[in-house]
Amino acid sequence: MSVIRPYRPADRAAVADICILTGDAGGDSRERFPDPDLLPAAFALPYVEHEPELAFVLDDGGAAVGYVIGTADTPAFVKWYREEWLPPLAERYPLPERTMTPLDWLVGLLHNPERMLVPELADHPAHLHIDLLPEYKGAGHGRVLITTFLRALGAMNVPRVHLGMDPRNTGARAFYERMGFTEIPVAGEPRGQFFGRATIAP
């Protein structure tokens, strides 16, 4: 039986795998980004490293098969990412002079945490990522995971949360709208779409 529980350090590899298997507009990213470490290093592991208390997993018999992860304070997260998280990764993945491949584009994102500081999102200080392995989708787990996250933020007195997504991911969009998120228009962001909502007070 699957349960939702707080993240544990032993979930780290499973979280990275889930990120890879859902990282291309909700689908398997291995063809687009043929490097097993880069996507989780950019979009999953910094969150469980920085704010493990805000990470929750869907556990099916001992293994994590889905997660919701994020930060309560995007500017503080960006500062930590720039100062602590990025330096060893920047050595391993130097910024390419030109963006020739999807992997180059991803390395560019890795090097630019300040892209997360979007003026239109400043009054939604928290942000999140939610991903489930394909066989666990559509069974209500996403709803419980995101509600757990919204309650955890509410208990920390964080008023609102945002997320960014690939516009190709129409299923995720439908999910977020169903969960009470509304789109936040952001100037000059043709690649991404942003949604936000209030957290849930305890």
List the interface residues with ligand COA, window 153-172 (CB under 6 A): 165, 169, 171-172
Eight-state DSSP code of residue 113: G
Q: Which residue is nearest to ligand COA (CB)?
A: 142
Of the pair 2, 79, the CB lying nearest ligand COA is at: 2
The secondary structure of 155-170 as a DSSP string is HTT--EEEEEE-TT-H
Of the pair 91, 163, the CB lying nearest ligand COA is at: 163
List the interface residues with ligand COA, window 12-51 (CB under 6 A): 22, 26
Near ligand COA by CB under 6 A: residue from 67, 175, 194, 195:
175
Near ligand COA by CB under 6 A: residue from 9, 94, 140, 185:
140
Residue 114 to residue 75: CA distance in whole angstroms: 8
Residue 95 to residue 130: CA distance in whole angstroms: 27
Tell me the C-alpha to C-alpha distance, in Å, between residue 86 and each of 12, 53, 106. 18, 21, 13
Of 49-57, 82-90, 131-139, 185-193, which part binds ligand COA (CB under 6 A)?
131-139
Of the pair 88, 167, the CB lying nearest ligand COA is at: 167
Using CB under 6 A as the binding criterion, the count of chain residues that bind ligand COA stands at 19
Contacts of 148 (CB under 8 A, 6+ apart): 4, 56, 68
Eight-state DSSP code of residue 77: H
Token duo for residue 103? 């992997």
List the interface residues with ligand COA, window 91-130 (CB under 6 A): 130
Contacts of 59 (CB under 8 A, 6+ apart): 2, 3, 4, 5, 65
Minimum CB distance to ligand COA, residue 175 (Å)? 4
Interacting residues with ligand COA (CB under 6 A): 22, 26, 130-132, 137-143, 165, 169, 171-172, 174-175, 178
